[in-house]
Amino acid sequence: MAIKTNFQNQANVTVNIGTEVTMGTICLTDDGTWNSLDCTNISFTEKKVAPLEIAPQKSGLLTQGTHQAKHAKDKRQWEVTLEFLGSPLAINRMCLAMYGDGDGTNALLGAYPTVKKYEHGVTNAIPVTIYLQQGGSRQDSSSTEKNKDLYFKSCLMSNLSFNYGFSDGGALKCSATFVTMYPPIEQDHVATLGSGSGSLTSTAGTPLNFLDVDTMTLASNDLLLHDFSLDISRSINSAGYDKVNEHSVGAVVGQYEVTGTLTCKRDDNSGSVEYGNSASQAIVVTQGASDLIGFAVPYAMIEGVTVDTADSWKQAISYRGFYDGVDLASSVCSIKTA
């Protein structure tokens, strides 16, 4: 077979996120609600992958036979990780996918999520289709220049992280990891999304910037911040496997974990923070003249503290976020964008 002349370039790949209606059904390319996302990096699991499982070894033999090996299609999961700069609209859309609140307050409440299981063929607006235009490995049959498009349907977010610091001009760097139990599909390239009755809305905009941070407090102590991170994660597991159609019958989500690290100047204020009394302490990072934009972890507990003695001494404080144990309507964390 002759070597193919087409090749892939990440700069040619456009990332779009479609809001689905029914679990297991792709958001139609010309009749759905779409958001474009300006990604700085993309990574995903190859479409044909399946874990190889090996049966127990027979006594008296030191070699393995083909009869012992089987690819476990029922355990297949595909991950898509999207790295992007944290513009307000991009943050809102990702928080909506992670825990169902994307209104600009973006608060993860103690009672979330409102939906805890997702069934194939059942209406649900949380799963998304991730459409990588020209992300396919093969050439479009109708074009000599375009690669096929690649889409991952019914994706659920398992991790959302934010990193705020002096690097990269201070721009807020974000990463979102999605999981799906449905095999990705390639199809001929679609030039324009939203050309039918659907819509395509850009999430582009100016990202939040660390250089604009006005206030950083931990337990009401003003700290001189060097960098800040917030990570929201949960597990996504298959509820069972349909062997005939080769996909999961649904997904079950695990509990949220909110963790992070802040690095600040080591001084009297950072030394006034209580690190081991099991009391919750509020973390607030604001950008602008008010607290309308920024991060808040109202009921944080400190997990560990380390000291960096290089140059100016710093303290790295790792924390975990909780809701107020007597109020499920209280916030675990929020990422305000307006």
210: left (phi over 0), alpha (psi -120 to 50) or beta: alpha
* Residue 195, domain member (yes or no): yes
Q: β-pairing, 199-202 with 33-37? A: parallel
* Residue 98, domain member (yes or no): yes
pLDDT for the residue 292: 66
Give 234's contacts (C-beta < 8 A, 6+ positions apart). 158, 159, 253, 254, 255, 256, 257
Count of beta carbons in the 10 Å neighbourhood of residue 95:
25
308 has pLDDT over 90: no
Tens digits of per-residue pLDDT, 153-172? 999 999 999 999 998 899 99
The identity of residue 167, as a single letter, is S
* Residue 57, domain member (yes or no): no
Place 4 in a pLDDT band, splitting at 50, 70 and 90: low
pTM assigned to the model: 0.90
Place 276 in a pLDDT band, splitting at 50, 70 and 90: confident
* Residue 16, domain member (yes or no): yes
> What one-character DSSP code corresponds to residue 234?
-
* Residue 53, domain member (yes or no): no
Our count of domains for the chain comes to 1
> What one-character DSSP code corresponds to residue 30?
T
Count of beta carbons in the 10 Å neighbourhood of residue 260:
24
Sign of the CA dihedral 106, 108, 111, 116? positive
Tens digits of per-residue pLDDT, 165-198? 998 899 999 999 999 999 898 888 776 776 555 6
* Residue 37, domain member (yes or no): yes
* Residue 110, domain member (yes or no): yes
Q: Smallest Cα–Cα separation from 77: which of 178, 186, 187?
A: 178
Tens digits of per-residue pLDDT, 125-152? 899 999 998 888 777 766 666 788 899 9
* Residue 230, domain member (yes or no): yes
Helix, strand or coil, per DSSP, at residue 74: helix
29 has pLDDT over 80: no
Helix (H) or strand (E) holding 94: helix 88-99
d(CA 238, CA 159): 17
Tens digits of per-residue pLDDT, 91-110? 999 999 999 999 999 999 99
The identity of residue 271, as a single letter, is G
| End-to-end Cα, the chain, rounded Å | 56
Can you give the residue range of the structural domain that contains 154?
Answer: 10-47+71-337
Count of beta carbons in the 10 Å neighbourhood of residue 201:
12
322 has pLDDT over 80: yes
d(CA 267, CA 315): 9
